[in-house]
Structure 1
Amino acid sequence: KYADSVEGVIAYSKTVAEEIMRIENSAELVASLQADLAKQAAIYHTFAVQLSEQRQQAAQALRQQMGEQLADLGLPHAVLAPEVRTAAESKPHPMGQDEVEFMFNANPGETPKQLIKVISGGEMSRVMLALKTLLAENDPVETLIFDEIDSGLGGRLALAVGEKLRELATSRQVICVSHLASIAAMADQHLFISKEIEEAATYTKVRVLEEQERVVEIARMLDGQMSEIALEHARELLKPKLNG
């Protein structure tokens, strides 16, 4: 029943004896494991609380710094408020015990709401530019793309956006879709995007502009008619780049 030989029966008896011993000692093992688990849980809780405190401090600092950055970008009343709260899920997590959510409002007197629900496209672009400016030294991303980040801006604010883009571009590649000549003129290279219809199909084409083409397109952005005054203004805007 237990084996085909005496040796097999002896081996089986040893296995059974070991299993009986394991069962008899299981209560002690469970108690030891539970004690170790409680110890590790206490260590986790200590570090999780410390991490939460550091996050709260960082959230306050980021809120202030972002306020300054967004004011430079034409959003003087904007508030970006990271909200740090203890997660409802009580199980230990590698990222700690917190849930972090970004709250936002652009107008004075309003309570910040979930950023993802209230922010516009133009506001989001400027928030990302402000964040990237603050985090530039620690951000490993090599290419940043901004789509019409200058929407609704002009004059001094457009120049401020352009300066921040240029600042970012010193350490990584920045691609920016823009309709403002003052911002476009700060670029080292220009790509012209157009839609063309060929055989009843529409294609989007992109090509690199040569020096004179850059002047023409900047002039077109300035007044739409490429007057001599606009062309001269475009040359002045591009002068640092064309001569560089």
Structure 2
Amino acid sequence: MLHYLQIENFAIVEQLKLHFNNGLTIISGETGAGKSILIDALGLVLGDRADSTVVRQGCETAEVSAVFTLPSPAFKWLQQQNLKSSHECQVRRVINYNGRSRGYINDQPVAVQILRHLGEYLIDIHGQHAHQSLLKSDIQRQLLDDTASSPSILEQVKQTYEHWKSLKTALDSLGGENRFDQIAFLRYQVQELEAFDLTTESLERLEKEHHRLTHAQKLLEHCEIALMLLDNDEGGATLSTLSKANHALEEVQQHDPKLDDIIALVENAIIQTQEAVGELRQYLHHLDIDPANLQEVQQQIATLQDLARKHHVRFNDLPAHFEKLSQQLTELENYEENANRLEAELTEALQAYRVATEALYQQRVQTAQQLAKQITTEMDKLGMSGGNLVIAVSADEEAPPTATGTDMVEFLVTTNPGHPPKSLQKVASGGELSRISLAIQVVTAQSNGVPILVFDEVDVGIGGGIAEIVGKSLNHLAQQRQVMCITHLPQVACQGHHHLQVNKTFNQKSTHTDIHLLDNQQRIEEIARMLGGVEITSQTLAHAQEMLQRSHQSAQ
């Protein structure tokens, strides 16, 4: 549930701090007071798109933060994302004046997509124009699937579809009718690269040889200096000096046994120096400083670099590129064998997909019957007596596979007994469509696992006794979920457990919106205002008080 919401410099809100409780929270206020700002702020902190217009005029940033108690799925998901969290979680969003934003979960920076995904576990917002989206076939199918008893069946369809799709892509990539042209072109590319020793090791050797030849003169000069210092009788050279030192120690070795180890070390140094001198002479003898060799290596490297540019790869990626082209050529040259194998696998994958979609179809048909019955019952409560909603599910095995199966799902409704049901698009009355939409939302909200439900003026076009029924439906829903409802209807407002009032104030420099929790007397006054009239009379107040008392009694 939502415990706390803080808004700073957001739209026309300078600063706002609100605490929330379980049950049904009513949000009311004059038209244009900014009631939807609360909903917009909730949407923003949970990943809705943001731009610079949400930042209060004259401010650098806007900030919205909220504290939630996480349901188990959300808590587990955060753990999977390596985000530290307890079951109480703080979510924060900061928007700069330039439109850029930053998101945080428990003060850990996160991408906006993470906020959005977390929001899917926490809150479901039903806007006043939600019925427009309900006209879409994809939304109707999703509502049906969301209420299904076994989500794993749809997941199985998705998995079998992805497997089928990957095999089809592999088969298509074999070339089909134009494979002969592809073979000719690939063969030309492979033969062009085959002329060179294209392995990772050979390219490394070539680069090392180029580096050595480039510095050959410097190698020669320094090695000759080292040889002169190691093996020259003049100037106190190392080998000569070591031999003289060894002779001097041997002359007195008999007088002190402690010299034995020192003499052994010197003799070992003489042996190693002699070996170094021999190796160095051998190295100098074979050192190649021929400029022609350097030019040849440079030409090889230049040729390979040209090839890399021609094939649009990096120099060091030529071996992998050559191997890839060779493999593609082999697969195309063995087209029949590979195609037969893939076609067999594709047929098997399609069969597995059809089995999964058949199970999904059966589940959808069963779920559709149950869901349609529940929605029809809710429609009856909302004053559409005799109305009936039917959810038609039709399987099309000839349709191309998709991740959601091949079924067509359509919500059909009749508002008059004896008339055939029609698609929602053909329902004439906007008021009827609004009530049908509300019935669908109330029923489906009970079946999904989202703990917070927000209804933003979904009761537009409803009044009188039906409005009271709408309020009772929301009150009943709030026994299981935390529900918020923006409304202009006093019949709905009096059914709330808590009541927030939105007020807009003006001065010469700016506009402010404030929201505060009403006590019982203030609720009576607010509901009296919602009942209408330029002047709130004692009779209006008494009516408002009676409505509140009746709603409390019916809730008990």
TM over 0.5: yes
Other-structure match for 1:114: 423
Contact 2:438/2:458 (CA < 8 Å) preserved in 1? no
Within 5 Å, give how 1:217-228 maps onto structure 2: 217-222=526-531, 224=533, 225-228=535-538
Amino acid aligned to 1:147:
E
- Quick one: higher RCO (CA 8 Å, sep 6+), 1 or 2? 2
Maintained 8 Å contact 1:85/1:99: yes
Q: In the alignment, is residue 93 of structure 1 matched against residue 402 of structure 2?
A: yes
1:29, CA displacement in angstroms?
A: 1.5
Once the two structures are TM-superposed, the CA of residue 97 in structure 1 deviates from its matched residue by 1.0
Q: Give the deviation of 1:24 after TM superposition.
A: 4.9
Partners in 1 of 2:507 and 2:420 — Cα distance? 51
Q: Equivalent residue of 2:334, what SS?
A: helix
Return the alpha-carbon distance in structure 2 between the equivalents of residues 204 and 100 of structure 1: 46
TM (normalized to structure 2)? 0.36
1:63 is paired with a residue whose SS is helix
1:216 is the counterpart of 2:525: yes
CA offset at residue 36 of structure 1?
0.6
Query: Equivalents in 2 of 1:138, 1:40: separation in Å?
Result: 32
- Mark the runs of 5 or more structure 2 residues left unpaired by the alignment: 1-191, 203-318
Give me the whole-angstrom Cα distance separating, in 1, the residues matched to 2:326 and 2:518.
87
CA distance in 1, matches of 2:515, 2:428: 33
Cα distance in 1 for partners of 2:326, 2:438 equals 70
Q: After the TM superposition, which residues 3-42 of structure 1 pair with which residues of structure 2 at under 5 Å, given as runs?
A: 3=195, 22-42=331-351
Aligned equivalents of 1:18, 1:227: Cα separation in 2: 88
CA contact (8 A) 1:122 1:149 kept: no
In 2, Cα distance between equivalents of 1:57 and 1:163: 29
Give the distance between the partners of 2:343 and 2:507, measured in 1 at CA.
Answer: 73
Which residue of structure 1 lines up, in the alignment, with residue 464 of structure 2? Answer: 154
Structure of larger gyration radius:
2
- The answer to whether 1:145 aligns with 2:455 is yes
Q: Among residues 228, 234, 238, which one is paired with 2:544 in the alignment?
A: 234
Name the CA distance, whole Å, in 1 between partners of 2:537 and 2:398. 65
* TM-score normalized by the length of structure 1: 0.74
Counterparts of 1:63-142 in structure 2, within 5 Å, are 63-87=372-396, 90-118=399-427, 120-135=429-444, 136-140=446-450, 142=452
Does the aligned pair in 2 maintain the 1:193–1:204 contact within 8 Å? no
Residue 169 (structure 1) shift: 2.5
AA partner of residue 107 (structure 1): N
The 2-side partners of 1:109 and 1:124 are apart by 19
C-alpha separation in 2, matches of 1:122 and 1:45: 41
1:109 alignment partner, SS class: coil
Percent identity between matched residues is 31
| Structure 1 residues 21 and 68, CA gap change in structure 2 (3 angstroms) | closer
Q: Tell me, in whole angstroms, the C-alpha distance in 2 between the residues paired with 1:154 and 1:85.
A: 39
> For the structure 1 residues 69 and 83, does the alpha-carbon distance in structure 2 shift closer, same or farther, using more than 3 Å as the test?
same
Aligned length: 231
Give the match's secondary structure for 2:459. Answer: coil
